[in-house]
Chains A and B, each alone.
Chain A
Amino acid sequence: MEWEVVIGLEIHAQLRTKSKIFSGASTAYGAEPNTQACAVDLGLPGVLPVLNREVVRMATKFGLAIGAEVAQKSVFARKNYFYPDLPKGYQISQFELPIVKAGTLTISLEDGSSKEIGVTRAHLEEDAGKSLHEDFHGMTGIDLNRAGTPLLEIVSEPDMRSAKEAVAYMRKIHALVQYLDICDGNMQEGSFRCDANVSVRPKGQQEYGTRTEIKNINSFRFVERAINFEVQRQIDLIEDGGEVVQETRLYDPDRNETRSMRSKEEANDYRYFPDPDLLPVMIEPEFIDAVRKEMPELPDAKKARFQSEHGLSDYDAENLTATRDTADYFEAVLAELAGEAKLIANWMNGELAARLNRDGIDIQDAPVGAVAFAGLLLRIKDNTISGKIAKEVFDAMWVGEGSADAIIDSRGLKQITDTGAIEAIIDEVIANNPSQVEQYRGGKAQLLGYFVGQVMKASKGKANPAQVNQILRDKLSG
């Protein structure tokens, strides 16, 4: 039987505020356990939450970016359940009235087509703390630094039909929240993570199959793997005459499998009700207008502009707008090197991307910044160095040896463009290879490449290749 996969994602994006969503404690990552948890975060008796205005602005930005209606009235609700790292015994979230209503997002697929994915809603909530199970000798340690960190939970429609689509959607949201500057997108630190709802159904069937929810996946690779594993598990189960049970599952990246966490029967009744400590959030149209004015250019618009303004290909433009940092880098280089968009794109998508990938770092952490990078490309453009030499210079820049010009100078890599100097090298090569000269003159034209190679070698790669070609041709034919 042919199966159709149905996937919906719930993405948790940590909002990039200085302080927590309902308290003044810092949200900075990595502090000593429980040093960034104030009385409110600890849920001490008598404390009260006060909404951080900044999270409302950030959620509004997101709503505008996906073409959604920003709710004029939204309400914080309590989601009640007991867990040691949930200090109050309830999480303040939004339930019936979320701040962002339905919107859409277009993803690009590998075959070059695009697809629209529905976003059901996005709501604000507080994060819980962290339970630490190691180092406590059979006990559990609790770190509440993260408790109260603001999250935007972005819920999609079940519109994705493959793990690849799910990843494309997740990447798109990831890029978007960074473009909006509302989330740092750091997945290792848990700033951006998702739950995947997965089901399968026979192709052509209208009703959805029973779904399972895979919790807390924090990398694009794991999302793809976890979904693929889960899809196969469900298909195997059904084909063997079994039934999918509605449950929550955990993905174990070490064993590449999902495991049951709790079934629907064991699921909590969260007893949601409006939080009486917080008033409804009322958003005036003027507020939304003000936020609209500060909206940055979004990825799709930027990509279109890169194509139309700079004549870049769809492929180049897509890659250069994949993250806001990449696009910013590109534009910073372009500012130094006007009119050279194609050269910049080639080098960014080629040599720069390869080095970032090799070292596993993000572009904003690249050891060669945009201005220095432009300095390198400028020397290609003005024929000071060849593309080949430029790679060597780039490597040296990458390990901190200085600017492109300094390295070209100190290593003596400046291209030889002095016709006299090139002629002298060529004369020597011709003198040292009498038999090859004879063969060439006898009609073996393909030997030109051999001579070019010899000249480049003798010049240590510094001779201008175009000049070498021209002079060689003249001299050999003479």
Chain B
Amino acid sequence: MTAMHRMTLAELVGGLSAGDFSSSELTRHFLDRIAAHDAQLNSFITVTEEAAMAAARKADEARAAGNAGPLAGIPLAQKDIFNTKGVRTSCGSRMLDNYIAPYDARVIEGFNDAGAVMLGKTNMDEFAMGSSNETSWYGAVKNPWDTERVPGGSSGGSAAAVAARLAPAATGTDTGGSIRQPAALCGITGLKPTYGRVSRWGMIAFASSLDQAGPMAPSAEDCALLLQAMAGFDERDSTCMNEPVDDYSAGLTQPIDGLKIGLPKEYFTEGLDSAVEARVREALKHYESLGAELVEITLPNSHLSAPAYYVVAPAECSSNLSRFDGVRFGHRCDNPKDLEDMYCRSRGEGFGDEVKRRILVGAYALSAGYYDAYYLKAQQIRRLISNDFAEAFKQVDVIMGPTTPTPAFRLGEKADDPISMYLSDIYTIAVNLAGLPGMSVPVGTVDDLPVGLHIVGNYWSEARLLNIAHRLQMDTDWHKQIPEAFA
């Protein structure tokens, strides 16, 4: 039998139901792998070993009793941005280092209902602000393909844990690329759903109008299984839409001949590493061989997406993070002199530099006299960007390009250069501004570092995106590759 950590999620589901192994054995296996390897990666903030083993036993009992859920006994890692009842939920911040969540996020409820087992909470950039996982209060996460390099961010812990198979799959959240960029840099598959597809209830907000949770796993087929448990209407989130949920696994193998793939000319220009481009072009060629048609398109306002994003996201975060004031929960400074001192020192000590930078930028963009020039203008640009995509989807079915301009960069390389760091999300952020679904799929390596293909679809086209990604993965095995040190 193949080692359990080398199996896909679908294979693990099959193995559990065939009785090849129990959830207790499976969960133990992954807990052991975390214990053995995570010191090198730092991909987990909290490992919930006891609770995981208890949940695994429960899943085994449920299966024996004949009422196993669709993910019964499957161990998963959860990004530490999701509230998990009774478990520390830190969001990668000193601010919440002492915070035990009193309730479960909707995403967690979904996995609990499906019978999944939580292995622990994964490391992330502080409050999901970062593209390298270097802003975490718990230290940087290392890329399993080269531990001198970053795994990407902000869902870097989830990406690294899955890439090293310390967990069969994980969750992430994506505000500007935080699922897709680390998925690309770690060689796994990640999907950011349409805004409103997955409830944000219990997911700690960074930028409310952009945040969306999604699956991160080796393959598209795995992502389909996870998304099934995550997607759906939730009346507790007013921005969650009551759209029918597709059966994401049902159409995975459908042929894609006649598929029109749009290639934005703006995405294949300077700034794109030529070797990365080569891997992307190879994948595109493969799609042609499957009967797809490549069409050059234009997204004329692409160059405005980063400036607009870095106004909207900080503006929303400056307000969202106001609740961390040392009054009711989270970090409070020692011996405050008075109220203002408590606010200043609690927040000064609790937040890291990148979070403070964005709060300042956002507060500035919203302040009297600047609102029209910044926030309002950014929202107008957002409309233009959405219109660009709407135009494009009149001509093509999906849009493809590189997920990131380069493979994983070195730890520390961009840590002191926020602008250069921000540009590593240059291809992904427009998708959040428009609220569209997007995926990153591994399509090869450059100097042994993974490269991701970015696939963007129209609203609510998650099933189609998974189908398109799966068709590629039926013929390639980039998604099956595991870094040697973790094989």
Interface residues, chain A, with chain B CB atoms under 8 Å away: 39, 42-51, 78, 80, 82, 84, 87-90, 140, 142, 269, 271-273, 276-279
Q: Is B204 located at the chain interface by the 8 A CB criterion?
A: yes
Given A45-B99, A271-B363, 15 further pairs, Cβ under 8 A: A43-B323, A43-B328, A45-B83, A45-B324, A46-B83, A46-B205, A48-B200, A48-B237, A50-B237, A88-B323, A89-B319, A273-B315, A273-B375, A276-B207, A276-B209
> For the complex, what is the distance from the CA of A140 to the CA of B328, rounded to whole Å?
13
In the assembled complex, 21 residue pairs joining A and B whose CB atoms fall closer than 8 Å, in A order, are: A44-B329, A45-B99, A45-B204, A46-B82, A46-B202, A46-B203, A46-B204, A78-B319, A80-B322, A87-B323, A87-B328, A90-B319, A271-B318, A272-B366, A273-B371, A273-B375, A276-B207, A276-B316, A277-B208, A277-B239, A279-B238
Q: Is B201 located at the chain interface by the 8 A CB criterion?
A: yes
- On chain B, the residues within 8 Å of A271 by CB distance are 318-319, 363, 366-368, 371
Q: Contact at A269–B238, with CB atoms within 8 Å?
A: no
Q: How far is the CB of B247 from chain A (nearest CB, A)?
A: 28
> For the complex, what is the distance from the CA of A448 to the CA of B82, rounded to whole Å?
94
Closest B residue to A78 by beta carbon equals B319
Q: Is B339 located at the chain interface by the 8 A CB criterion?
A: yes
- On chain A, the residues within 8 Å of B105 by CB distance are 46
Chain B 198-236, CB-CB to A under 8 Å as 1, else 0, gives 001111110111000000000000000000000000011
Q: Is B123 located at the chain interface by the 8 A CB criterion?
A: no
- On chain A, the residues within 8 Å of B327 by CB distance are 84, 87, 142
Q: Contact at A80–B366, with CB atoms within 8 Å?
A: yes
Q: How far is the CB of A321 from chain B (nearest CB, A)?
A: 40
> For the complex, what is the distance from the CA of A446 to the CA of B418, rounded to whole Å?
106
Q: Helix, strand, loop or mixed for chain A's interface?
A: loop
- On chain A, the residues within 8 Å of B339 by CB distance are 84, 140
- On chain B, the residues within 8 Å of A42 by CB distance are 328
Q: Contact at A273–B323, with CB atoms within 8 Å?
A: no
Closest A residue to B347 by beta carbon equals A82
Closest A residue to B83 by beta carbon equals A46
Known: A44-B102, A89-B325. A273 touches B319 (CB 8 A): yes
> For the complex, what is the distance from the CA of A42 to the CA of B208, rounded to whole Å?
18
Q: How far is the CB of B211 from chain A (nearest CB, A)?
A: 9
> For the complex, what is the distance from the CA of A87 to the CA of B327, rounded to whole Å?
8
Tell me which residues from 343 to 385 in chain B have a Cβ below 8 Å from any Cβ of chain A: 343, 363, 366-368, 371, 375
Of all A-B residue pairs in the complex, the 5 with the closest CB atoms, nearest first, are A89-B322, A271-B366, A276-B208, A276-B209, A46-B202
Q: How far is the CB of B171 from chain A (nearest CB, A)?
A: 14
- On chain B, the residues within 8 Å of A88 by CB distance are 322-323
Q: Contact at B103–A39, with CB atoms within 8 Å?
A: yes
Closest A residue to B202 by beta carbon equals A46
Q: How far is the CB of B314 from chain A (nearest CB, A)?
A: 12
Q: Contact at A48–B236, with CB atoms within 8 Å?
A: yes
Q: Contact at A269–B323, with CB atoms within 8 Å?
A: no
Q: Contact at A89–B200, with CB atoms within 8 Å?
A: no
Q: Contact at B366–A50, with CB atoms within 8 Å?
A: no
Q: Is B399 located at the chain interface by the 8 A CB criterion?
A: no
Q: Contact at A82–B239, with CB atoms within 8 Å?
A: no
Residue B323 contacts which of A45, A48, A277 (CB distance < 8 angstroms)? A45
> For the complex, what is the distance from the CA of A276 to the CA of B235, rounded to whole Å?
16
Q: Contact at B319–A48, with CB atoms within 8 Å?
A: no
Most chain B beta-carbon contacts within 10 A, residue among A44, A51, A80, A142: A44
Known: A50-B238, A276-B208, A279-B238. A45 touches B102 (CB 8 A): no
- On chain A, the residues within 8 Å of B318 by CB distance are 80, 271
> For the complex, what is the distance from the CA of A50 to the CA of B240, rounded to whole Å?
11
Closest A residue to B371 by beta carbon equals A273
Q: Contact at B322–A90, with CB atoms within 8 Å?
A: yes
Interface residues, chain B, with chain A CB atoms under 8 Å away: 82-83, 89, 91, 96, 99, 101-103, 105, 200-205, 207-209, 235-239, 315-316, 318-319, 321-325, 327-329, 339, 343, 363, 366-368, 371, 375
> For the complex, what is the distance from the CA of A269 to the CA of B315, rounded to whole Å?
14
Q: Contact at B367–A269, with CB atoms within 8 Å?
A: yes
Q: Contact at B202–A82, with CB atoms within 8 Å?
A: no
Q: Contact at B91–A45, with CB atoms within 8 Å?
A: yes
Closest A residue to B91 by beta carbon equals A45
Closest B residue to A40 by beta carbon equals B236
- On chain B, the residues within 8 Å of A89 by CB distance are 319, 321-323, 325
> For the complex, what is the distance from the CA of A273 to the CA of B314, rounded to whole Å?
13
Q: Contact at B322–A48, with CB atoms within 8 Å?
A: no
Closest A residue to B240 by beta carbon equals A48
Q: Contact at A50–B96, with CB atoms within 8 Å?
A: no
- On chain B, the residues within 8 Å of A48 by CB distance are 200-201, 236-238
Q: How far is the CB of B351 from chain A (nearest CB, A)?
A: 13
Q: How far is the CB of B98 from chain A (nearest CB, A)?
A: 13
Closest A residue to B237 by beta carbon equals A48
- On chain A, the residues within 8 Å of B83 by CB distance are 44-46
Closest B residue to A140 by beta carbon equals B339
> For the complex, what is the distance from the CA of A311 to the CA of B316, rounded to whole Å?
61
Q: How far is the CB of A187 from chain B (nearest CB, A)?
A: 29
- On chain B, the residues within 8 Å of A142 by CB distance are 327-328
- On chain B, the residues within 8 Å of A46 by CB distance are 82-83, 89, 101, 105, 200-205
Q: How far is the CB of B234 from chain A (nearest CB, A)?
A: 9
Most chain B beta-carbon contacts within 10 A, residue among A42, A43, A142, A273: A273
Q: Contact at A45–B96, with CB atoms within 8 Å?
A: yes
Q: Contact at B328–A49, with CB atoms within 8 Å?
A: no
Q: Contact at A277–B202, with CB atoms within 8 Å?
A: no
Known: A43-B328, A82-B343, A276-B208. A50 touches B323 (CB 8 A): no
> For the complex, what is the distance from the CA of A291 to the CA of B323, rounded to whole Å?
37
- On chain A, the residues within 8 Å of B368 by CB distance are 269, 271
> For the complex, what is the distance from the CA of A279 to the CA of B25, rounded to whole Å?
46
> For the complex, what is the distance from the CA of A80 to the CA of B368, rounded to whole Å?
12
Q: How far is the CB of B335 from chain A (nearest CB, A)?
A: 12
> For the complex, what is the distance from the CA of A39 to the CA of B103, rounded to whole Å?
9
- On chain B, the residues within 8 Å of A47 by CB distance are 201-202
> For the complex, what is the distance from the CA of A273 to the CA of B238, rounded to whole Å?
17
> For the complex, what is the distance from the CA of A269 to the CA of B368, rounded to whole Å?
6
> For the complex, what is the distance from the CA of A474 to the CA of B441, rounded to whole Å?
118
> For the complex, what is the distance from the CA of A280 to the CA of B134, rounded to whole Å?
37
Q: How far is the CB of A271 from chain B (nearest CB, A)?
A: 4
Most chain B beta-carbon contacts within 10 A, residue among A88, A89, A140: A89
Q: How far is the CB of A43 from chain B (nearest CB, A)?
A: 4
Q: How far is the CB of B10 from chain A (nearest CB, A)?
A: 30
Most chain A beta-carbon contacts within 10 A, residue among B83, B316, B325, B343: B325
- On chain A, the residues within 8 Å of B202 by CB distance are 46-47
- On chain A, the residues within 8 Å of B96 by CB distance are 45
Closest B residue to A89 by beta carbon equals B322
Q: How far is the CB of B250 from chain A (nearest CB, A)?
A: 31
> For the complex, what is the distance from the CA of A140 to the CA of B329, rounded to whole Å?
16
- On chain A, the residues within 8 Å of B371 by CB distance are 271-273
Q: How far is the CB of A283 from chain B (nearest CB, A)?
A: 16
> For the complex, what is the distance from the CA of A32 to the CA of B200, rounded to whole Å?
31
Known: A45-B89, A46-B83, A46-B203. A277 touches B103 (CB 8 A): no
Q: Contact at A82–B325, with CB atoms within 8 Å?
A: yes
> For the complex, what is the distance from the CA of A88 to the CA of B321, rounded to whole Å?
8
Q: Contact at B238–A277, with CB atoms within 8 Å?
A: yes
Q: How far is the CB of B82 from chain A (nearest CB, A)?
A: 8
- On chain A, the residues within 8 Å of B89 by CB distance are 45-46
> For the complex, what is the distance from the CA of A273 to the CA of B329, rounded to whole Å?
26
- On chain A, the residues within 8 Å of B82 by CB distance are 46
> For the complex, what is the distance from the CA of A278 to the CA of B319, rounded to whole Å?
14
> For the complex, what is the distance from the CA of A142 to the CA of B326, rounded to whole Å?
13
- On chain B, the residues within 8 Å of A273 by CB distance are 315, 319, 366, 371, 375
